[in-house]
Structure 1
Amino acid sequence: MHTPPLRLLPWTTPEGNPCYLSTDSGRSRLSLLADDIEAAQLDSGEQVLAGARAVLSDPGAGERAVRFALTRAAESLEDVLRVAVSRGARVGTGDR
């Protein structure tokens, strides 16, 4: 009997630890919720990237604006990397 690998979910515990899902179906309610959140995180990352580029191209941007843009970019990068790891682990398993 084949046991599917655990899916890394796109959120963490309140303590910052990773959350995993064990399911036989990539179409379960929690799997679909995770898919939706991953999509939202990727969309947010695109918006943060556009904002960061705008700040970086503005020679008059102050330290606060640059720090804010970099903080948001780091948060988005963390989300995108978690999505990439999760999806990479599922390549070839039949799930997305």
Structure 2
Amino acid sequence: MTGRTPDTARLLPWAGPEGKPCYVLGDGTGYVSRVADDMEGVQLAMAAELLDHAADMLDDRQVTTPQLRYVVARLAESLGDVHRIARSRGERLAALGPGPDV
């Protein structure tokens, strides 16, 4: 991302000890930032696959309550990942300042 200062903090897509947020400082081009980019891509792809699976389960009249509870738990985990990614990207966009008027 261009226009970032070297001391920009990025919320990482994983939690630290005790579930606390992890951040990296930098311009977004370092090793940890690249790993975070890759992890976000994996998390978003998994969320899309999980949504498809949940839709299939909802169409299946034979699905059991434990199966639905399991998929809802995975959906909640995935939503947490996607929310963290959105927060991280929003913070980085805000750090760039206002964009040009469209």
**TM-score in same-fold range (> 0.5):** yes
Q: Structure 2 unaligned runs (5+)?
A: 98-102
How far, CA to CA, are the matches of 2:16 and 2:31 in structure 1?
A: 19
Q: C-alpha offsets along residues 18-45 of structure 1, whole Å, 9 cap, x if unaligned?
A: 101111x211111111000000000000
Q: How does 1:39-78 map to 2 (within 5 A)?
A: 39-78=41-80
Q: TM-score, normalised on structure 1?
A: 0.87
Q: How does 1:1-96 map to 2 (within 5 A)?
A: 4-23=7-26, 25-91=27-93, 93=96
How far, CA to CA, are the matches of 2:17 and 2:49 in structure 1?
A: 25
In the alignment of these two chains, the number of paired residues is: 92
- Please identify runs of 4+ aligned residues in structure 1 that moved more than 2 A: 2-5
Q: Structure 1 unaligned runs (5+)?
A: none
Query: What is the CA-CA distance between 1:5 and the residue it aligns to?
Result: 3.3
Query: What is the CA-CA distance between 1:3 and the residue it aligns to?
Result: 6.3
Q: Tell me the percent identity.
A: 41
Query: What is the CA-CA distance between 1:60 and the residue it aligns to?
Result: 1.6
How far, CA to CA, are the matches of 1:3 and 1:26 in structure 2?
A: 8
Q: TM-score, normalised on structure 2?
A: 0.82
| Distance change in 2, residues 1:14/1:56 (3 Å) | farther
